[in-house]
Structure 1
């Protein structure tokens, strides 16, 4: 799959005035990147590769930690005065929004997030990160300090050719609603502290 940078603009936020970059993949999917400051220098760029989560990012769901992770990344990058966030359109770990809602319904019956995906016929995590490497290349980002707790994401990005010089812990507060979700990510998917 290939992706192309098609437009950029200013995006004022409560945290900083970012540059918003729009990308279109050859499958028609649209992805965005936020940058702050000069991300093209040789100095490693504080970065978050964030997968879309409508329920967490826009609807403030407490079932996951996605919205708080995105907000924390924006704050950390604003505080640093320089950084990059790739926002990849791969809802529900790649299963799509409606299937994610179906997985939530299975979780309502007592399954964890991994079991819910599997009972619906999906792998626990179907996200792909090859386009992220192309996005970094088109933004001229050479080296990154990655905000993540996900070892699979680290490996997938490195395998795609992204030069990760450091993993930066990216933990947010656990809620009563997200406790089981986060525990499952740690126990079944190897997420780190």
Structure 2
């Protein structure tokens, strides 16, 4: 089965491909020109469905299955920020590093070195017949510093529950078992098998 990803984020594409080895996974940008999708939902679920629907409709092929991920980190000391705004936390033109260091600075501004935090991943699946959405979570601690250069996004500042290293330091094999995206994808695969 061919899965079309409603993302052009190279980190996400790489991670989803690694977690979905039984499927042919391609970013939508290999089929059509990239276009802006306005994510104006209030939840990860709404934004994942918005992305999946937009790509499904743009490709205009009833036989495809579109998979979209909306994910982010929520930090307790910041009242759950950045949440659904994780990808554009430092502004619309910001990259991963800009977002990472803004979040570190915001935690430091609260006068703490760390805070409980969690990642959420919502995976939406859109086909000609149905729409689905599943979730996965990963709990842990957000640090007011970056350690390790592995992974992407906020990985260097997040220590998963039960570990003493950041996602930026942990091996990919360990991350595969822990990640919010891996947990959501394992549920998504149950749905995909039913097609």
TM-score (norm 2): 0.29
